A and B are shown apart, each in its own frame.
With several copies, the nearest count.
Chain A
Amino acid sequence: MNFAIAIHGDAATSESPRLALRFARAAIAKGHRIHRVFFYHAGVSVANSLVVQPQGEADTAAEWAAFAKEHGVELAVCVAAALRRGVLGQDDATRYERAVANVNPVFQIVGLGQMIEAAISADRFVTFCA
């Protein structure tokens, strides 16, 4: 089957980015495909490259990036949600006159339409709430 995944919880305090990663790994292991992973609401924080994870704690963002590369899975971040939470791509930083960009380049910054598209074209759409 073809799955689409949405993640609403933040990297620091919600378990949902990790729960979604476990689901995605299990889905790939069972031979399913993952159409897109969409980070919305506080979930956009997973794409913040400035996060410094304390030693000895799991780095879920790094694991998502490695997983996506290995399996060719698209990681998409909602641009509007990211702007509100200070997660900027280079284009955004330039447009809004911020000195720096901080998005992890493994993540695509996209519009909300990409979430709806994923939800309706996948066989199943699974949301991991905050």
Chain B
Amino acid sequence: MAALHIVNSSSERRTALDNCLRAASRGDTVLLIGNGVYWAVAPMFAGIAKRASDTVWCVLATDVKSRGIGTLLSTQVQQIDDGAFVDLVASHHPVVSWS
């Protein structure tokens, strides 16, 4: 089963994302939550897209909306609701959070 990686910090703590990308395998999913969603802003995502090409990228829609950055997002990142977050956890193994 593919792993789910969760990142909840923005480029202020970029090592969370760097370590995540280092440990993620092809076909894994990376979910950006909380301030992690700022990584999905198009020019920010462009900076990591090369290393991110073989993983699936999702962001929590609630967190995107509360930050007012919906129009800035990369099209390569999928917005999901909290219920879909639960589904991702259930359908992936292991679930890995990066701090």
Contact = CB atoms under 8 A, between A and B. Distances in A.
B9 interface: yes
A19 B34 CA distance: 7
Contacts, number: 55
Interface string A42-78: 0000000000000000000000000000000000000
A3 B60 CA distance: 19
A30 B34 contact: no
A1 B63 CA distance: 25
Nearest to B16: A129
Nearest to A22: B82
Contact of A1 (B6, B90, B99): B90
A15 B82 contact: no
28 contacts: A1-B90, A15-B8, A15-B34, A19-B33, A19-B60, A19-B63, A22-B62, A22-B82, A23-B86, A23-B89, A25-B82, A26-B81, A26-B82, A26-B83, A27-B86, A30-B86, A30-B87, A32-B90, A124-B93, A124-B95, A125-B95, A126-B97, A128-B8, A128-B97, A129-B6, A129-B9, A129-B16, A129-B99
B86 A26 contact: yes
Interface in B12-46: 16, 33-35
A8 interface: yes
Classify chain B: how many residues form its interface, as a range.
20 to 34
A130 interface: yes
Contacts of B86: 23, 26-27, 30, 32
Interface residues on A, range: 20 to 34
A130 B85 contact: no
Contacts of A30: 83, 86-87
A25 B87 CA distance: 13
A126 B95 contact: yes
A26 B85 contact: yes
B83 A29 contact: yes
A97 to B, nearest CB: 31
Given A126-B97, A130-B99, A23 B85 contact: yes
B7 to A, nearest CB: 9
